[in-house]
Structure 1
Amino acid sequence: MQERTMTPEPLPFHPNPKKPDIALPQGACDAHCHVFGPAARFPFAPQRTYTPIDAPKEKLFALHRHLGLERSILVQASCHGTDNAAMLDAIAAGEGRYRGIAMVERDIDQSELERLHEGGVRGVRFNFVTHLGKPADLDAIREITAKIIPLGWHAVVHFDAHRLEGLAPFLRELQLPMVIDHMGRIDASAGPEQPAFQLLLDLMQDERFWVKVCGSERISRAGPPFEDAAIFGAILVEKFPDRVLWGTDWPHPNIKKHMPDDGALVDLLKIIAPRPELMQKLLVDNPTRLYWPETL
């Protein structure tokens, strides 16, 4: 049997992030982060394309306390495949302050979806990113989304920027809210007029679409403090203030260089959401509407 190609050894997450210079509003939410393992308890998927460093819930909870984040959305990553156990365990420990985005097989049944819902899951993620393996099957996405619509869930879509032109017509077919990861992974050095970013802006005209203005460390070409990327986040927040989310992306899987300081990423919010009302919507109001609507 041919072995699956693994990416190089990952960088460790930042051991001592700074205290942010800015104070976050009450109820602030990290809308994109992960838990990995510990592998001894929650093994990684055999078909994974990378093996991360253990990043357990205790480390994440401590980071959130340090940064001033009170709530969080845990996103299932490909290294755990469709075994959502580590994520569900962390959500349970969060005592209502955490929700989740799962990865599931196309043949998942309603009883399993209801179990995930009871465990705090509110959406499903689909990957179209080359380094994470084969792109999601479009027919499978149609089947899965039909099953999750009655639960009030949404889809999270993670894609390489060059794929958006081909994906956009398909995404418009789907009759549920969709959240785009990491500003569509555009290239910050190509400027706001680049076709990929203009396609993203066009897609966002449809009110079913949301976008996460995080991942500055991924799309930057200038390196720390990643202000070249934060400018794109600012454009999206200004244009679509009611359909934007932000997260740390801790523990930053597959970062090859410039492992970010999470406190410094929080400080980029001064650029991304420069006015208090924008910060309130980005960090509190929007994630509440999407993930905790029962509290409104």
Structure 2
Amino acid sequence: MTELSFTDLANTIPFCAPADPAPKAPRFVMPPGAVDCHAHVFGPAEHYAYTSERTYTPPDASLKAYQQLHQTLGIERGVLVQPSVYGLDNSATRDALRALRQKGRDYRGVAVVSSEVSEKQLDALHQDGFRGIRLNLLFKGGLQWKDVVALSERLAARRWHLQFLIDVSDVDELEQRIKRLPTHCVIDHMGHMEAGKGVEHPKFQTLCRLLADGHAWVKLSGAYRTTGRQHLPYEDITPFAQALINSNAERCVWGSDWPHPHISVPMPNDGPLLDELANWAPDKHVRQRILVDNPEALYFADS
């Protein structure tokens, strides 16, 4: 895979906006042990090269800024997800995890690998705190489903999970495919379906059934990726989030999606963005499940 310098990429691939550097605290009290289940770190760009097969160039989003975000929001643990700008090179995410874990911080990672990844490579990723593999099937040209099945069979023995970036409205036979996989499956960003298609869309209802039956997990994240609104609150997303929670609150986790790369709406502040969760789940006991208990089971059971 061809790699370009930071300067070359800046000249050929547009930058996306940076996160708000002054996050506010949420209006509600975060429970002890709260987990941010979806975030990324970027850079320094001069040290961690981006791939040429990208649709955006992110500004640096440092580990220090990530930790400051969690301190402000009241989050104690997190899951770093390998961003697409690095392709199969998990170095930036790995090094961030190593730095956090060397300080005794309880963090996990989700990597991106090829279908030919070796057992030795998976062992090394496990040692560094990775517990899942992300599959970007939102765009054509990624892994085929036969590769997904083979990878899932290898991950099941490790108690890892598969994380899918998909638009559920664009996937045929999702229910049958997910049910055949032997490992846990996590769906990114509430299924990544445009809000305008409506909560009664048959394929969104399929996602709800998968949750209800315990065959899938879902991340309550990335509301700005599917909303028809330009600014918070993203009221058109509330019915989707609540439908998922009502289907099975024990299979829902929350993620900030910080630093919110490559979004088409004005950059939100992370405090009001987290407050959306209180709108979706006003019961603090349900939020306890989403923020603490469910992530504990999915990411930290082997700690």
What is the TM-score normalised by the length of structure 1? 0.92
Alignment of 1:118-129 (within 5 A): 118-129=127-138
Partner AA of 1:114 in structure 2: D
Question: Residue in 1 aligned with 2:214?
Answer: 207
Alignment of 1:217-228 (within 5 A): 217-225=224-232, 226-228=234-236
User: What is the count of residue pairs matched by the alignment?
Assistant: 292
Question: Residue in 1 aligned with 2:91?
Answer: 85
Counterpart CA distance in 2 for 1:67 and 1:203 is 31
Partner AA of 2:252 in structure 1: V
Matched, 1:109 2:118: yes
Counterpart CA distance in 2 for 1:65 and 1:58 is 11
Runs of 4 or more above 3 Å deviation = 2-8
Question: Residue in 2 aligned with 1:241?
Answer: 249
RMSD of aligned alpha carbons: 2.1
Q: How far off its partner does 1:142 sit?
A: 2.2
Q: How far off its partner does 1:84 sit?
A: 0.8
Q: 1:59 aligns with which of 62, 65, 77?
A: 65
Question: Residue in 2 aligned with 1:41?
Answer: 47
Counterpart CA distance in 2 for 1:134 and 1:55 is 28
What is the TM-score normalised by the length of structure 2? 0.90
Q: How far off its partner does 1:41 sit?
A: 1.6
Q: How far off its partner does 1:203 sit?
A: 2.4
Between the two proteins, what is the percent identity of the paired residues? 38
Question: Residue in 2 aligned with 1:151?
Answer: 158
Residue-by-residue CA offset, 1:258-278 (whole Å, 9 max, x unaligned): 212111111111112210110
Q: How far off its partner does 1:7 sit?
A: 6.0
Q: Which moved more, 1:65-74 or 1:230-239?
A: 230-239
Residue-by-residue CA offset, 1:118-155 (whole Å, 9 max, x unaligned): 1000010101113xx62322222222222222111010
Q: How far off its partner does 1:59 sit?
A: 1.1
Closer/same/farther in 2, CA of residues 136 and 49 from structure 1, 3 Å limit: farther
Structure 1 residue runs without a partner (length 5+): none
Q: How far off its partner does 1:196 sit?
A: 3.0
Q: 1:197 aligns with which of 201, 204, 217?
A: 204
Counterpart CA distance in 2 for 1:259 and 1:138 is 34
Residue-by-residue CA offset, 1:155-206 (whole Å, 9 max, x unaligned): 0011123323344432222111100001101222333212232121122233
Question: Residue in 1 aligned with 2:297?
Answer: 289
Counterpart CA distance in 2 for 1:234 and 1:170 is 25
SS in structure 1 of the partner of residue 249 of structure 2 = coil
Counterpart CA distance in 2 for 1:235 and 1:274 is 14
SS in structure 2 of the partner of residue 94 of structure 1 = helix
Contact kept in structure 1, 2:155 and 2:183, CA below 8 Å: no
Partner AA of 2:205 in structure 1: Q
